[in-house]
Amino acid sequence: MQIGGDRCLTTRKARSLIWFIAPFCLALQLNAANAVTDWNLIASTTIITNGGKSPAASAVWFSYSSLAVYDAVNAITGQYRPFYYRTAGPPAASVEAAAAAAAHRVLVNFFPSQQTALDTQLSASLAGITAGSDARDAGVAVGEAAAMAVINARIGDGLENNVPYVPGSGPGAWIPTPPAFALAVTPWLGQMRPFTSRAADDFLPDGPPSLASETWKRDYNLTRLYGGVASTTRSVAETEIGLFWTEHTGQQYARAFNYLVDSYHLGTADSARLMAMLWTGFADAGIACFNAKYKYGFWRPATAVPAGGGNVDLTADPAWLPLGATPAHPEYPAAHGCVTGAVAPLIASFFGTTRVNVLVDSKAFTDGAHQHTFKDTRDLMDEVFWARIYAGFHYYHSLEAGRQLGETVAQELVRNYFRRRANRED
């Protein structure tokens, strides 16, 4: 079978993502309507547009929803190992109804003030399903049960707990940054119980480099030269890349994941598995990343560059400002490095090759949406890596640490979850 013009890979490839390549090829299904992608966009509206959840943290709610959808669909098809819900559903039940009902129940549970709109959307979803009423009803029952399994399993997981954080002081310490000087967001995220690992600090990287080190001096100068709003080193194309990735990450990736499903004509079962893998990997990478961020509390370029980097060998620029508005949390490791470090190899694992066409668009511009297309998941990671330097948000070493953390999260996820099972009783 051909996927995007490339034969599915079952052999090793060069580069660091080798251990993510799945040992099987994906059977694609054609399906004109897809409840999974419909409810992924509904989730985006519920969680972000209306719910106001922050970029990294938003993936937690996407994970709740996508895991419920995966378990509901999988209870009917029996193709893969369940995540939380382990009861087999009627084989004749509608998988589309199960997916819609599962997502709906999770979103209503966590966003009860939006129930009226969500109920209306569920009614519209069910009305559009061509299966008979018995199949729809059976699907809804499975979806409801799968959703409750996720909800019950995640009780006490640390969601939005009150976790205080007091910024440090002096060279190297994170403090609120311009223009908003907002307090640090979502310190609770780094203390959550992950989905696919034992604890939030399982993948804790070594700390940032000493301010006296050559690594620090090199990386400070790289961001100072390329990341400033008035940079004369950064090209026009690099400026566009830096701004492209400043949109809300969860919102941007929700559309990108849907484009991926649409581009490869995935059926309901494959869509549910892909979404669950990507959102759970995103969430766990974010949890591990924020655990490290609040442990190390390292300063952003917006603070370091005006102060001269805490090193007499470095040049201070009191008027320096980053190209983009710096996110309100400590710098190390880079969050987008962490989450894209997980997402990119998970896409490769799902399709069995890094050569996957990935379309991402951005609404961060005043002249309309911009689109970037990648023919290899490694190219996606490379662009995000440099985008955070061009935006003036991060240092090279922080992005490298984030990428490695994300890849490790993805490696463990692929090794232990969402795998095909030998039979329905497995």
Query: How far is it, in rounded angstroms, from Cα 39 to Cα 66?
Result: 9
Query: How far is it, in rounded angstroms, from Cα 240 to Cα 381?
Result: 16
Query: How far is it, in rounded angstroms, from Cα 314 to Cα 378?
Result: 33
Taking 70 as the threshold, does the pLDDT of residue 17 lie above it? no
Q: Could you read off the pLDDT of 73-93 as tens digits, one per residue? A: 999 999 999 999 999 999 999
| Bridge partners for 2 per DSSP | 7
Task: Determine the pLDDT at residue 68.
Answer: 98
For the chain, domains (ranges, CATH) are: 34-153 (1.20.144.10), 187-416 (1.10.606.10)
Task: Determine the pLDDT at residue 152.
Answer: 98
Task: Determine the pLDDT at residue 421.
Answer: 85
Query: How far is it, in rounded angstroms, from Cα 308 to Cα 405?
Result: 29
Percent of the chain with pLDDT over 90: 91
Task: Determine the pLDDT at residue 142.
Answer: 98
Query: How far is it, in rounded angstroms, from Cα 129 to Cα 122?
Result: 11
What does each C-alpha distance from 289 to 53, 83, 350 come to in angstroms? 17, 23, 23
Query: How far is it, in rounded angstroms, from Cα 69 to Cα 97?
Result: 10
Buried b (16+ CB within 10 A) or exposed e, 66-80: bbbbbbbbbbbbbeb
Predicted confidence band at 25 (pLDDT cuts at 50, 70, 90)? very low
Query: Kind and range of the H or E element at 401?
Result: helix 396-416
Predicted confidence band at 24 (pLDDT cuts at 50, 70, 90)? very low
Answer with the residue of higher pLDDT: 12 or 34: 34
Whether 60 contacts 200, CB under 8 Å:
no
* Least confident piece of the model among 20-24, 32-36, 189-193, 304-308: 20-24
Query: Who's near 292: CB < 8 A, 6+ residues apart?
Result: 190, 201, 204, 205, 332, 333, 401, 405
Predicted confidence band at 199 (pLDDT cuts at 50, 70, 90)? very high
Q: What is the DSSP-derived secondary structure letter of residue 342?
A: H
Query: How far is it, in rounded angstroms, from Cα 8 to Cα 394?
Result: 36
Taking 90 as the threshold, does the pLDDT of residue 156 lie above it? yes
Taking 50 as the threshold, does the pLDDT of residue 155 lie above it? yes
Query: How far is it, in rounded angstroms, from Cα 168 to Cα 155?
Result: 32
Q: Could you read off the pLDDT of 332-355 as tens digits, one per residue? A: 999 999 999 999 999 999 999 999
Count of alpha carbons within 13 angstroms of residue 380, beta-carbon side: 27
Residue 241's nearest CA partner among 344, 175, 323 is 323
Predicted confidence band at 425 (pLDDT cuts at 50, 70, 90)? low
Q: Which amino acid is at 171?
A: P
What does each C-alpha distance from 49 to 42, 231, 323 come to in angstroms? 10, 33, 24
Q: Which amino acid is at 375?
A: K
Both structure tokens of 389: 């330097």
Q: What is the mean pLDDT of the chain?
A: 92
Predicted confidence band at 2 (pLDDT cuts at 50, 70, 90)? very low
Angle between helices 249-263 and 268-296 (to 10 degrees): 150
Mean pLDDT of 359-363: 98
Both structure tokens of 107: 């979103």
Query: How far is it, in rounded angstroms, from Cα 12 to Cα 332?
Result: 32
Mean pLDDT of 227-249: 98
Percent of the chain with pLDDT over 70: 91
Q: Could you read off the pLDDT of 261-295 as tens digits, one per residue? A: 999 999 999 999 999 999 999 999 999 999 999 99
Q: How many CB atoms lie within 10 A of CB 218?
A: 13
Computed over its alpha carbons, how large is the radius of gyration of the chain? 22
Dihedral of the CA atoms 14, 17, 23, 28 (nearest 10)?
-110
Task: Determine the pLDDT at residue 33.
Answer: 64
Residue 384's nearest CA partner among 400, 370, 408, 369 is 400
Task: Determine the pLDDT at residue 31.
Answer: 38
Phi, psi values for residue 361, rounded to 5°:
-120, 165
Whether 75 contacts 138, CB under 8 Å:
no
Both structure tokens of 154: 């995640």
Whether 217 contacts 309, CB under 8 Å:
yes
Whether 185 contacts 328, CB under 8 Å:
yes
Predicted confidence band at 394 (pLDDT cuts at 50, 70, 90)? very high
Buried b (16+ CB within 10 A) or exposed e, 41-58: ebbbbbbbeebebbbbbb
